[in-house]
Amino acid sequence: MSELFGNNVQQTLFEGEGQLAEEDVLFLEVTSGIRPPVRDASGKITTLFRAKSYFSIGEPIVLPLAQLLTERGEAIPAEIKLQMQQFDFYQVELACSFQTAPGCRFHDARFALTLQTLPYDSQASPQSGKAIAYDLFPRTLEDERPVRIKRSFAPEIKLNFDSASSSLALPLFERTEEFVSYTARVEAFDLRGTQPAWSFTRTASHEIGGPQKLFMVVRKPKDAQVKAIFSLSAHVQFVIGKIALDPFPLIWLFRRHDTRATITDEPAVPLC
pLDDT tens string 127-152: 678 999 999 999 987 765 666 655 44
* pLDDT of amino acid 206: 82
pTM: 0.79
Domain-located, residue 105: yes
Least confident of 36-40, 91-95, 173-177: 173-177
Distance between CA 268 and CA 264 in Å, rounded? 9
Least confident of 48-57, 196-205, 208-217, 254-263: 254-263
The tally of domains found in the chain comes to: 1
Measured between alpha carbons, how far is residue 78 from residues 84, 156, 172, 268 in Å? 10, 11, 11, 33
Cis preceding-peptide flag for 77 (omega within 30 of 0): no
Closest to 3 measured CA to CA, from 72, 57, 51: 72
If one counts every other C-beta atom within 10 angstroms of the C-beta of residue 132, the result is 22
Percentage of the chain with pLDDT > 90?
47
Domain-located, residue 91: yes
What lies within 8 Å, CB to CB, of 25 at 6+ separation is 49, 50
Structural domain harbouring 148: 12-270
Domain-located, residue 154: yes
Measured between alpha carbons, how far is residue 13 from residues 42, 60, 157, 223, 227 in Å? 18, 8, 30, 27, 15
* pLDDT of amino acid 114: 97
Mean pLDDT of 229-238: 95
Q: Has residue 64 got a pLDDT over 90?
A: yes
Domain-located, residue 4: no
pLDDT in tens, 82-95: 999 999 999 899 99
Q: Has residue 8 got a pLDDT over 70?
A: no
* pLDDT of amino acid 92: 94
Domain-located, residue 5: no
5: confidence class by pLDDT, cuts 50, 70, 90 = very low
Mean pLDDT of 62-77: 85
- Supply the Cα-derived Rg of the chain in whole angstroms: 21
Mean pLDDT of 43-72: 86
Domain-located, residue 6: no
